[in-house]
Amino acid sequence: MSSLRELAREELDGIAERSLSRRIVQTERLAGAIVKRDGREYVSFSCNDYFGLTHHPEVIAAARSALDRCGAGAAASRLVTGNHPIYAELESLLAEMKGAERALVFSSGYAANLGVIPVLVGKEDLILADRLCHACAWDGARLSGASILRFHHNDVDHCRSVLEAQRSKYRRCLILTETVFSMDGDRGPVAALAELARAHDAWLMTDDAHGLGLPGVGDTGADLGMGTLSKGLGACGGYVHGPAEVIEWLANRARSLVFSTGLPPAAVAAAAASLRIIRNDEELRRRPAENARRFTDALGRAPAESPIVPVIVGEPDRAMAASAMLQENGLLAAAIRPPTVPSGTARLRFAFSALHQPEPIERAAALLKEHGYA
């Protein structure tokens, strides 16, 4: 135990020297994009609750009803205990929103990628991924045993050149991208990559974790799509959607589904309620990106493509200082540092919600400009 403790201390000291320490801070999330820390309330730009549905009364009521009727947990894997009807409702809503034949819910988006990718490809196959794909895509790719190559971020021509040089050497090929990239907020070229995949006998799989429900964002043309229930839907869990036969195959083979206890019924019911809300409220769906564009306009930048806006400041200590400055002024924006983002691109990541009001958005932009961070 003493050697383990010493190793941990050495590792922590090294992390701290590079300004890369992370800690979990007790934070109470309140309604209206407000959080509470150490007795003080802040406007938070760090939450991925894009439509503000975590505290929506219909979502809370659905979760409470499921909790009362079904209890606190799922008790075992869905393949063991059976599938509660709430799951069927949520998967039907997801498939409908995505224009897919079927959807399958996992315990998280991370679990979806860990489970799905190794089913699709293996040691004789190739994975070609955008270099900025999320960590869970890379982890799923590594678990598959397939050969892994990267293409330049959002660069369809580079993806094409790699395919032309490498595709014939492998049995199957899977291309990975995102509809909205989590740290830069830009959109992936889904349609162009889908066409490229078809031309090279490859499959395209998209990560829609940060795009679900946003107008103009989608994964039409992709062979498979995955995402999360914990961001725009304000609940918990993940999913994959696609052709019925493929989803049935995944239900039989995806280890992170087969060997995991199902989501609590309350979380499933909350996600279903959120889907019904955003399906019927176009104005709500527009508002997060509109708030992001208010911010980029105030900074004098090109209009935001999504609710995510990075303010890149360079080094980790500078990102921490910028975050601390905003916190002193009642605003929270997370400092994102390597290895989450490449070296030299530490940043503040602003995630805009439908609930954000104009005043704190414009105040955040003014403070960043005043202190030389924008």
pTM: 0.93
Please determine whether the domains at 23-54+281-370 and 74-263 fall in the same fold group of CATH: no
pLDDT value of residue 20: 84
Q: Where are the alpha helices (DSSP H) in the chain?
A: 2-17, 57-70, 78-81, 85-98, 109-120, 135-144, 156-166, 190-199, 244-253, 255-258, 265-279, 282-299, 316-328, 358-370
pLDDT value of residue 1: 62
Measured between alpha carbons, how far is 205 from 248 in angstroms, rounded to an integer? 17
**DSSP 8-state class, residue 169:** G
Write out the two tokens for 45.
């730009």
Task: Name residue 112's amino acid.
Answer: A
Measured between alpha carbons, how far is 99 from 279 in angstroms, rounded to an integer? 13
Write out the two tokens for 210.
């940060």
Locate the domains of the chain by residue range.
23-54+281-370, 74-263
Write out the two tokens for 97.
């929103």
Tens of pLDDT along the chain (374 residues) come to 679 889 999 999 998 888 888 888 888 888 889 999 999 999 999 999 999 999 999 999 999 999 999 999 988 998 898 778 899 999 999 999 999 999 999 999 999 999 999 999 999 999 999 999 999 999 999 999 999 999 999 999 999 999 999 999 999 999 999 999 999 999 999 999 999 999 999 999 999 999 999 999 988 899 999 999 999 999 999 999 999 999 999 999 999 999 999 999 999 999 999 999 999 999 999 999 999 999 999 999 999 999 999 999 999 999 999 999 999 999 999 999 999 999 999 999 999 999 999 999 999 999 999 999 98
74-263 is a CATH 3.30.300.130 domain:
no
Catalytically active residues are 48, 134, 178, 182, 207, 210, 231
Write out the two tokens for 162.
């790699």
Q: Are 269 and 65 in contact (CB under 8 A)?
A: yes
DSSP-derived pairing of the beta strands 102-106 and 126-130: unpaired
Q: Which residues pair with 47 in a beta bridge?
A: none
Task: Name residue 276's amino acid.
Answer: R
Looking at 3.90.1150.10, 2.60.260.20, 3.40.50.2000, 3.30.56.10, the CATH number of the domain 23-54+281-370 comes to: 3.90.1150.10
pLDDT value of residue 325: 98
